[in-house]
């Protein structure tokens, strides 16, 4: 069946005569609750972080149960991307881009994990589990101590090793990006 300007054309014999058939409506307008469920972006400064708290210790268990199958038991050596190591390799001929060497903001890690992980069931970790697995990943990289904990106030304060490793593109001006200039 093909939809053309609100009318549906039935394939087969009816299509040969091009008899339009009224399309049934489907879907519904998004409610504020629908929109809120998808409006979960976290900015580098921490705006948008939800309530919750997680520790490195708790994060180890969450990681073992949800992440180790792809990323290896300690964040490397699995089928998925390596998460640990690579410090001081970005300016070499063989850079290793990991959470600990490349990512500029810990808040971006939280946002990514919350939206896309675990791979087999994205978005299923609770806020506490997400803070915990981020804490564990940062601890594996030596960024957070083994006794560390994260929440919406402490996470934006984490100084990632490559925080200043990115420079603004002089050709990219968000103010004029969509104005054709």
Which domains are assigned to the chain? 1-36 (no CATH), 40-157 (1.10.760.10)
The whole-number pLDDT of residue 9 equals 39
The whole-number pLDDT of residue 178 equals 61
The whole-number pLDDT of residue 181 equals 45
The whole-number pLDDT of residue 77 equals 86
The whole-number pLDDT of residue 179 equals 61
Which of 64, 100, 103, 68 is CA-nearest to residue 83?
A: 100
The whole-number pLDDT of residue 65 equals 97
Secondary structure class of 21 (helix, strand, coil): strand
Say how many C-beta atoms besides its own lie within 10 A of residue 96's C-beta. Answer: 17
Torsion of CA 151, 62, 82, 144, to 10 degrees: 40
* CA dist 34 → 2, 40, 82, 149 (Å): 28, 12, 34, 31
Helix, strand, coil percentages in the chain from 3-state DSSP, rounded to 5: 30, 10, 60
The whole-number pLDDT of residue 1 equals 45
> What angle (nearest 5°) sits at the alpha carbon of residue 25, between those of residues 23 and 27?
140
pLDDT along the chain (181 residues), means of 10: 43 51 78 87 95 98 97 92 94 95 97 96 97 98 98 98 86 67 45
What is the rounded radius of gyration, in angstroms, for the C-alpha atoms of the chain?
23
List all residues 6 or more positions away from 62 whose beta carbon is below 8 Å from its beta carbon. Answer: 54, 125, 129, 132, 133, 136
pTM, whole model, 2 decimals? Answer: 0.77
| Dist CA 111 CA 46 (whole Å) | 10
| Dist CA 8 CA 114 (whole Å) | 39
How many residues belong to the chain?
181
Cis check: omega of the bond before 118, within 30 degrees of 0: yes
């Amino acid at each position: 069946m093909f939809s053309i300007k609100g009318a549906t054309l039935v394939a087969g014999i009816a299509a040969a005569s091009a008899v339009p058939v009224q399309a049934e409506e489907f879907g519904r307008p998004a409610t504020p609750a629908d929109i809120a469920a998808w409006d979960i972006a976290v900015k580098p400064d921490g705006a948008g972080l939800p309530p919750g708290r997680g520790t490195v210790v708790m994060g180890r268990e969450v990681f073992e149960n949800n992440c180790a199958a792809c990323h290896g038991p300690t964040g490397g050596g699995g089928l998925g991307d390596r998460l640990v190591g690579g410090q001081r390799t970005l300016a070499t001929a063989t850079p290793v881009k990991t959470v600990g060497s490349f990512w500029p903001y810990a808040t971006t890690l939280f946002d990514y994990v919350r939206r896309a992980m675990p791979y087999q069931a994205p978005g299923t970790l609770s806020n506490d589990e997400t803070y915990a697995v981020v804490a564990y990943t940062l601890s594996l990289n030596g960024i957070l101590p083994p006794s560390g904990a994260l929440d919406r106030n402490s996470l934006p304060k984490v100084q990632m090793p490559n925080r200043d490793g990115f420079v603004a593109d002089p050709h990219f001006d968000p103010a004029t990006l969509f104005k054709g200039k």
